[in-house]
Structure 1
Amino acid sequence: MADNKQMKNVGDSLKQQFNRNPIFKERQAKIESIVQNDPDVQAFLAKYQLNFEDEIVRKSFSKLYEFARENGNDALGQKKFIQYAPNLIMNVNYIDVDYHPTEAFIQQQEAEELNKRVTMLSMPKSLRSASFEKMTTDDYQDRFEAIQKSLQFISAYTSKPNIYHKGLYLHGQFGVGKTHILAALVNTLAEHGVKSTLVHYPELLVDLKSRIRTNTVDQRVNEIKQAEVLVLDDIGAESNSEWVRDDVLGVILQYRMQEQLSTFFTSNFSMAELEEFLTTTREGVDVAKSARIMERIKYLSEEIYVGGRDRRNG
């Protein structure tokens, strides 16, 4: 008991010293003034018919201070909970502060969840924000069919995800927006909970070649071929070889055809031009193997021409 009394005396002594300190008194008065003039604090007290002289308010002043600070009053110091907004609540014998995520934090979390559903390999970061709503209306007629078919696919896939839906093969000149359309497609699918992989095909092949020495080629090919929705971007821009055509592209397409997985392509080549390109490799000419690859591509996708100006150069 003696120890407790001694501690109380020390506490009272310190409190008296603080109260006599003009700097402390000035700061305390400033804090009280800011809290008392906070419109949200005033509204809360009015709701419960309380004023600052009431015992429950005096006992809860530290919570009112915390609320005013976290509510964005910079004069009270820096916020401690940046991603959460404060809310005053009435408990049994005191006022407390409750926290809920801010709208900005909720949107950030939603964006992160969407990003997790879309795997982009060697693709521009800007494609993360691609959407049909942001597309310009100039040259719209040149892209109308590709956009219309993309929207139809989204509607069909999200309403009946358990049946096979054929993808698209978008071809046209460099920079007309083929990749952007399909990026908008996978981003929209992500909003419906669908996972997709969008990969720059020539860069994928560079990656696979670098994996030969570590014996991890099959691991990467399996990741690509098993994607729920797959976009192979810029097919036909690669350096062709028998290994690329038969052991990489052929394996991916065969698996996706057998498993009925939706697959999309972009290319500067039409399907006929791509077939001719695939015929010749460094090892020689093989019409039959090229035709076999094209059979799979045609099974997996519908060919659509995308026209218009080169958007990458303004």
Structure 2
Amino acid sequence: MESIKAAIRELAKGMPIDSVNQKLAESLMKDPRIQSFLKKHPDMNEDTFYKSIPKLYQYVTEHNNCEQCPGLNNCPNMLKGYQPDLIYDKQSIALTFKPCSLKRAEEQRKKQSGLVRSFYVPKDILQATFQSIDKSDPERYRALKAAGDFVKAYIDHPESANGLYFYGKFGVGKTYIMGALMNALAERKQVPSLMVYTPDFIRELKGAIQDHTLDEKLDYIKTAPVLILDDIGAETMTPWTRDELLGSILQYRMMEKLPTLYTSNYDYDELEEHLSYSQKSGTESLKAKRIMERIRHYTKLVTIEGTNRRTAGD
């Protein structure tokens, strides 16, 4: 309240306090918001009104500020991003405050960003939206439609929504579209989702054996409401990676009906071949097929073609 009192003192400029109050009262009485407030409370006496002049002055001043809003960062109100409201009860006037539309939007963005979690994924991917993606490319448009269809299906029936498998060469926009999908889920229904860059995350899980955090990290990725395994197939394959990590994660998510989405430079057949071979154990086709059954059956394959947008400056 100190800034309001200072403003009133500035208005006074040596005038007697009674004269200041009278001047402010006359000014406030002309304000349509104060007139409306007084009409709602005809039992209010003059003494209550005069005692509340600083609060009424703050109320009018800050609403005027909002009408000439300079933006949230430059908000001149005492509580930045908040608008005052008047409450009258038992011959007493009080101020309450509620966030303005800009403040609510900022809080929503912060909440949304907290729902979009990732490991080893560039920040620009996490800021992607469907609106920010070029839709003129028919190949990209098909992938965008599939992503939009998934969002709608998940919002309507999360337990029966199948995942997506985006297949395409390096740089065609697979991961960026997945980032937009995550943000759409967070914005429309506050759905938490997790994207992991598979090669680096698997390396982290291997290191987690030493510090005894493997189970904790595995549980974290297993239980994500929506999981995106980015660039699956780029990791170094070992029997442990395939059976103990990937197999464990996908089995749990299949049983719990949690959708898993993928991006890869490999199609289904190429990924199965990748999963079947390791330097230590050679080819283990049956084990690879078991993993692929959990991927094929619970995802829709979407092929994305086109130019490498990273080298093209997109």
- TM bucket by the smaller chain? 0.7 to 0.9
Following superposition, the deviation at residue 223 of structure 1 comes to 1.3
**One-letter amino acid of the counterpart of residue 188, structure 1:** A
Number of matched residues? 286
Cα displacement string for residues 203-231 of structure 1 (whole angstroms, at most 9, x for unaligned residues): 21122122111111122112112222211
Report the counterpart of residue 5 of structure 1 in structure 2.
none
Identity among equivalent pairs (%)? 33
SS in 2 for 1:221: helix
> How far does residue 174 in structure 1 lie from its aligned partner after superposition?
1.3
Aligned residue for 1:14? none
State the match for 2:69 in structure 1. Answer: none
- Give CA-to-partner distance per residue, 1:142-180, whole Å, 9 cap, x none: 123322222222222222233x32211101011211112
Partner in structure 1 of residue 230 of structure 2 = 233
The answer (yes or no) to whether the contact 1:232–1:266 under 8 Å persists in 2 is: yes
> SS at the partner of 1:126?
helix
Secondary structure of the residue aligned to 1:119 is strand
1:186 offset after TM fit, Å?
2.3
Say whether the 8 Å CA contact 2:196–2:230 is kept in structure 1. yes
State whether structure 2 residue 55 is matched by structure 1 residue 63: yes
Give the Cα–Cα distance (whole angstroms) in 2 for the partners of residues 180 and 198 of structure 1: 11
Residue 201 (1) aligns with residue 190 (2): no
In the TM superposition, what is the alpha-carbon distance from 1:122 to its structure 2 partner? 1.9
Structure 2 residue aligned with 1:113: 111
Contact 1:117 1:194 in 2 (8 A): yes
Superposition RMSD on alpha carbons, in Å? 3.3
**Does the CA contact (< 8 Å) of 1:71 and 1:86 recur in 2?**
yes
1:185: how far off?
1.8
Query: In 2 relative to 1, CA 90–122 (structure 1 residues): closer, same or farther, beyond 3 Å?
Result: same
The residue correspondences of 1:106-145 to structure 2 (distance < 5 A) are: 106-139=104-137, 141-145=138-142
Moved more, 197-206 or 59-68: 59-68
Match of 1:178 among 160, 174, 179: 174
Q: Does 1:246 align with 2:265?
A: no
Asked if 1 retains the 8 angstrom alpha-carbon contact of 2:162 and 2:300, the reply is yes
Cα distance, 1:57 vs structure 2: 3.8
Contact 1:123 1:200 in 2 (8 A): yes
1:171–1:304 contact (8 Å) kept in structure 2: yes
Q: How does 1:7-46 map to 2 (within 5 A)?
A: 25=14, 42-46=31-35
- CA offset at residue 85 of structure 1? 0.7
Aligned pair in 2 of structure 1 residues 26, 272: CA closer, same or farther (>3 Å)? Answer: farther
Specify the alignment match of 1:160 in structure 2: 157
- Measured after TM superposition, the shift of residue 242 of structure 1 is 2.1
Q: Distance in 1 between matches of 2:165 and 2:230?
A: 10
Indicate if the aligned counterparts of 2:135 and 2:141 stay in contact, CA closer than 8 A: no
User: 2-side partners of 1:45 and 1:250: how far apart?
Assistant: 67
The DSSP-based 3-state class of the residue aligned with 1:265 is strand
2:215 to 212, 215, 218: 218
The aligned amino acid for 2:233 is G
Following superposition, the deviation at residue 37 of structure 1 comes to 9.3
- C-alpha distance in 2, partners of 1:137/1:34? 60
In structure 1, what is the equivalent of residue 293 of structure 2?
Answer: 295
Which of 83, 97, 108 is equivalent to 2:95? 97
Runs of 4 or more above 6 Å deviation: 26-29, 31-34, 36-41
Structure of higher CA gyration radius:
1
Q: What 5-or-longer segments of structure 2 have no aligned partner?
A: 1-8, 67-74
Contact 1:35 1:68 in 2 (8 A): no
Q: Which secondary structure state, in structure 2, belongs to the residue aligned with residue 202 of structure 1?
A: helix
Q: Which moved more, 1:168-177 or 1:82-91?
A: 82-91
Say whether the 8 Å CA contact 1:122–1:200 is kept in structure 2: yes
Which of 240, 261, 266 is matched with 1:264 structurally?
261
Q: 1:44 to 1:72 in 2, by over 3 A?
A: closer
Alignment-derived partner of residue 150 in structure 1:
147
User: Which residue identity is paired with 1:171?
Assistant: Y
Q: In structure 1, what is the equivalent of residue 302 of structure 2? A: 304
